[in-house]
Chains A and B, each alone.
Chain A
Amino acid sequence: MTTGLPITPAADGPAADCVRELTRKDFQTPQEVRWCPGCGDFAILAQVQKLLPSLGIPRSQFVFVSGIGCSSRFPYYVNTYGFHTIHGRAPAVATGVKCANPDLSVWVVTGDGDSLSIGTNHLIHCLRRNVDVKILLFNNRIYGLTKGQYSPTSEFGKKTKSSPLGTIEQPIRPIQMALAAEATFVARTLASDTVHLSATLAAAAKHRGAAFVEILQNCRVFNDGAFDEMGSRGDVDLRIELVHGKPLRFGVNGAKGIIQKNLEPSVVDLSSDPASEANLLVHDQRASSPALASLLADLEPPDFPLTIGVFRDLERPTYDGLLQTQIASAVAQRGQGDLRKLLNAGTTWEVD
């Protein structure tokens, strides 16, 4: 259905915008990019700017919404519509944007402090409602913009400016939280692995509904090397890529694998125990139960490799879609709203 929004034709017109093949350059802005040299955010920006022109969507249909933090400067650097909002609230603002105009491709860019601390509430509700927005959570496990305090994803015992003796808090697990919120698309990738990052972003873009992508991203200044032990430097023994329908194998030549017994996962070495191959866990990103995804999300070094890839990808009705359906059915039942009828409803009387 139409959105009822007045569209004013632009000088170069919508046709020009659609027909001309867009390139990465079309999505760059004159605003100087102000992240620190070596920041993982640069790689994410580059991959997003490469992805957008490939989606077949006019540039004017994209909206990037962010909260507060280093990652949230992102919209200023993407030449589409952008809204740099307030701390933690980007999912709520994005929900409003999407409800106002469901035809838009709406993206949320947020960080671990922004959406796992001050704005956790909004993230959870955006996911459970399945609003058709793509949420990119840049997780550097530190507060960067405020110069180095621990974040809700910082590991237990981490020493920072605000925790000189080490933190006394258990970290939030973003993937587990998204799964608990019944998110329909849940993925994890690494800013340092541009190939995997690019493929994961493309999968999120394709998903209809709320897509949650945790991107492990290095903060060079305040938390350098945070993901070195998680295979961010490409060590195949330290990470395992989830592929739908495929057994979970990792290491050189896929020599290792993951099995489970009574929901307790363990690593098997297939070179010394080839019989275990038949017992390897097989990834199913379309499973309606989040149990397997949850088990896989828990795997991380040092006992296991880090799981990256798409944990879950389900088709479910979207919030904005259902909203439109209810409006369409109200119009079908009662006819297009007639203001005169509405104002004159109920008991009325005439004064002469």
Chain B
Amino acid sequence: MSSATKDEKDLIQVHHATVRFAGDSGDGMQLVGSQFADISSLAGNAIRTLPDFPSEIRAPTGTLAGVSGFQLCFADEDVTTPGDAPYVLVAMNPAALKVNVRDIEPGGIIVVNEDEFNAKNLQKAGYASNPLEDSSLSAFRVIPVAMTRLNDEATRESGLPKSQAARCRNFFALGLMLWLYDRPVQPLLEWLIKKFYKTPAVMAANAASLRAGYNYANTAELFRIHFHIAPAKLPKGRYRRLTGNEAAALGCVAAAHRAARPLVYASYPITPASEILHELSNHKEFDVRVIQAEDEIAACCAAIGASFGGAIGITGTSGPGLALKTEAIGLAVMTELPLVVIDVQRAGPSTGMPTKTEQADLLMSLFGRPGESPAVVLAAATPADCFHIAFEAVRLATKYMTPVLVLSDSFLANSAEPFAIPDPDELPDLRIVLPPAASGFAPYARNPETLARPWAAPGTPGMEHRIGGLEKEDVTGMVTYDAANHRKMVGLRQQKIAGIANDIPPAQVHGPASGKLLVVGWGSTHGAIAAAVRQLQAEGKPVSRVHLRYINPLPRNLGEVFSGFETILVLENNLGQLKTLLCSQFKGDIRACNKVEGRPFLIREVRAAIEEII
């Protein structure tokens, strides 16, 4: 705890808070945002974070295009989204204010670095007059702080040149926020020591700025009151914060480890999936073999080749890349090889909005291949769930000898939440034991229970065989165009995937099992739906929800679940793709609520959609 004094009377207990740090892309907003998230996690809060990067790598400083933001929501209760509207905005320059002010909760606090509100910066941000001086911000409590000057003062003794010391301003802002939310300074000082032990001057300057910000908030009575958020009641265990992409990568490593096989991850760089490639490139000691392929097609083909070779073959991409992998995924369907394809969806069509989120690849994942080409499709619900879904994808791919498509999206990929660290020994054992080769090895002789064919990798004596994209005779795997055989094989491939419904959990209804309205979600809509439905249930409204992590096959009890409700409302970030699928399989009043703005649903939007029906 800091030695700074506090007047406990001014400390207000609140249940949750949403804070957004915004500044120029060079202002270090991602760094202080994630540090604030760590501090809040250590304090026991539930937390969700979401960065908002500019799409340009180096947009001109001070411009609207160069604004970088980091939002976090933390609470003493379950948090499922990064928050609808920030209560506090930290804006490091006029452009950051301009871009973010429309999202701030009315009555909220805006902390600005007033030193940056000069004529030049105001003009760059497109302000005709200084918003700190006109009445345009009257709906908010604006707290101007001379961060540039105060930071200069604070870092003077550090020994850093002035231009370099100026870059510590983000820690001054962080210091202000630590005081506002009653967070200790000490863990951050320790982190700075660890991070900058090689450059003591940088460490000293950042530490000085951080303390100065904290003390200034305290002694200048900037905020009059400050807030405390008690620890949340999270399930017991050890936690760390992970983004969806980090979690997916760890899930792949864990699954290959539990399968006792090397992991071959072949991928072509693409936003927003590249972090999986980066993360996996760092784990070579786990025998992770990363191939940065020449294109999306090669990446998928190399993963298929690796699977044929007996490794865990995985490829990752986003929508445009998934389109290119189409033919290769069909090959994996036909040859019945395990393959995991992770699609971190982004707004399309075509190049679309690469950094923005959407869920519009669902039908492509299910049906976007030539021929009758069934594959398993899974969808991660939360950032941490990306770990479990990736693991589950490997389990199903290897057990059933099938491609598995994993749907994530830009929102899950970049958003972070606490991940309950599993005991690796308690993760399912994914080792596949080949039956010993009898004299007549047959590449398409199926396991009667799973309908999977044997995974006999090259190098295994006595099981030499040929596979390929041509239709194969049942059992023997010989090439054949026989009509009856084709009908049988199309059926077998379909039955194999459909049968997986018996190996996955049934759909679980949150709330009453019957009633007026059932809200159905899949993928990253989980957070907003869960929060909205919980709020409405607490208000006594007749609404339940179900969340689908398995899209193909669907949970076996879904029809039964639907039959208990008058209306089914499907929420998704597309024009109704899951709804179309559900309407093709189930009867009833199935309605859609869609959002295609490149942004996730807000809790209040989900509430409004539900309230319109009940």
Contacts and interface: CB of A to CB of B under 8 A. Distances in A.
B38 A347 contact: yes
Interface stretch (B105-113, B299-307, B484-492): B299-307
B250 interface: yes
A230 interface: no
A83 interface: yes
A350 B238 contact: yes
Interface string B449-476: 0000000011111111111111000000
A100 B313 contact: yes
A51 interface: no
B261 A6 contact: yes
Nearest to A76: B466
Contact of A95 (B41, B254, B305): B305
A348 B305 contact: no
B264 interface: yes
Contacts of B264: 96, 99-100
A96 B458 contact: no
A9 B262 contact: no
For the complex, would chain A's binding face be called helix, strand, loop or mixed by DSSP majority? mixed
B305 A97 contact: yes
A301 to B, nearest CB: 35
B44 to A, nearest CB: 7
- Most chain A beta-carbon contacts within 10 A, residue among B253, B257, B283, B458: B458
B217 to A, nearest CB: 24
Interface string A131-164: 0000000000000000000000000000000000
B252 to A, nearest CB: 12
Nearest to B427: A339
B240 A346 contact: yes
B471 to A, nearest CB: 12
A337 B305 contact: no
B308 interface: yes
Given A84-B466, A99-B289, A343 B298 contact: no
B463 A337 contact: no
B126 interface: no
Interface string B275-317: 0000000011111110101110111011111111111010000
Nearest to B303: A96
A220 interface: no
B349 interface: no
Contacts of A89: 297-298, 301, 328
Given A31-B478, A86-B327, A331-B285, A5 B261 contact: yes
A342 B461 contact: no
A227 B459 CA distance: 38
Contacts of B42: 347, 349
B466 A29 contact: yes
Contact of B308 (A14, A16, A83, A122): A83
Contacts, number: 266
Interface stretch (B355-363, B430-438, B585-593): B430-438
A40 interface: no
A101 B310 CA distance: 8
Interface in A1-22: 3-14, 16-17
B460 A100 contact: no
B285 A100 contact: no
A94 interface: yes
Nearest to B440: A11
A60 B464 contact: yes
Interface in B31-65: 38, 41-42, 44
A69 to B, nearest CB: 12
28 contacts: A3-B310, A4-B260, A4-B287, A5-B261, A5-B262, A6-B432, A10-B463, A14-B461, A31-B466, A75-B468, A82-B466, A83-B308, A83-B335, A83-B467, A84-B467, A93-B304, A93-B305, A97-B308, A327-B287, A330-B285, A331-B285, A334-B285, A339-B257, A342-B254, A342-B283, A343-B424, A344-B240, A351-B234
Given A60-B459, A96-B266, 18 more contacts: A5-B457, A6-B433, A12-B461, A60-B461, A93-B304, A96-B291, A96-B304, A96-B309, A97-B308, A97-B309, A99-B264, A331-B284, A337-B257, A343-B250, A345-B240, A347-B41, A351-B235, A351-B239
Interface of A: 3-14, 16-17, 29-31, 58-63, 65-66, 68, 75-76, 79-86, 89, 92-101, 103-104, 121-122, 124-125, 323, 326-327, 330-331, 333-337, 339-340, 342-352
Closest 4 CB pairs of A and B: A96-B305, A84-B468, A10-B462, A100-B309
